[in-house]
Structure formats: structure tokens, C-alpha cells
Amino acid sequence: MENIIAILKEANTKLNTADHLAYVTYPVVKESKLLLTTVENLYTALILAMEALLQYDRYYKRISYVPHEFQSKYEIFKKISMKYNLDRMAIASMLDIRSLLELHKKSPMVFTREQKLVIASQGFNIIKTLNIDMVKRYIEQAKPLISKINKVIQPNANDRRLA
């Protein structure tokens, strides 16, 4: 259980970092490359929160194992999220953010234009753009999700079975 709490604390830290970058740092420096760093922190926060909830359910023997690959974890997470009444839009945004980050990794060109980060293909075809409004929307979807996961796990942090 201590491991689950540690994972959740790390998720909260990453969420706070993403929030700070989007709402405090970005308005001051106006550097579009910060958008990518913010999204990476947010994605890490969401993945860690998902991992914490899956480990929590495994600890209480509600699921038999936690797979290592993302897609399997995500499918199990979607199933158990209904039990905890987690927001489906926030869960779906995990896939959006993941695809955005994968596009960035595969893309040969990334540049900034008009306060946007543009991910382009070899022939300068624009694949995806990222702006501060999109990042803030992702953060606003993630906050309640991670908050609910905190409420599920934290009350049971002092479980007597640990002793």
C-alpha cells in the first residue's frame, strides 16, 4: 500500500508541475516549447494515477494482475473507472495526449508559429498543433480525475493489513 501512495504522490506532483507551467510560467515567458513539457508532465501524472488505481484494485484483489503494456492497462482502467464514477472524457483525453506525444516523437519537424507548437511531417504538412488553450483544457479534465483517484485511495492509506 505504501507503494501505491508513493505512486499517487508522484502523480500529484506531476499534475501540480503541469498546472504551474501552464498557468504561471507560460504566461510569463510565452515559449511554445513549454507546452510540450507541460503535456508530458500531465501525461505522466495521468499514467501514474492510472497505475495507482490499478495497483489499489490489485491490492484488494478486485483484479488479478496489472499488465505492463499501456493498451491492456488502459482497457482495464476503463472498465474499473465505471465503478469509481470517473469522468470518461478525462480518460479519453489520456489517449489524445498519448497520440500527440507519439506524433511528436515520430515527427521530423516541430516548430512554433503564432503561440502554437506545430508538429509537421517531412513535407511540412501540419499533422497537429498544440496551443495553451488545449493544454489548459487537458489539465482541467485531468484534475477531477486525479482528485477522485486520490479520494478513493487516500482514505484507505492507513489499512491495518499493512502491519
Residue 114 domain-assigned (yes or no): no
Tell me the residue range of the domain where 142 lies: 2-99+132-157
CATH number of the CATH domain containing 22 = 1.20.120.330
pLDDT band at 35 (very low <50, low <70, confident <90, very high): very high
Q: How many domains does the chain have?
A: 1
Q: Is residue 86 part of a domain?
A: yes
**Per mean pLDDT, which range of 14-18, 71-75, 126-130 is the poorest?**
126-130
pTM, full prediction = 0.90
pLDDT in tens, 95-137: 999 999 999 999 888 888 888 988 888 777 778 899 999 999 9
- One DSSP character per residue, 104-132 reads HHH-SEEEEETTEEEEE-TTS-EEEEEEH
pLDDT tens sequence across 149-162: 999 998 765 554 43
Residue 106 in any domain: the answer is no
Residue 110 lies in a domain: no
Q: Is the residue at 119 inside a domain?
A: no
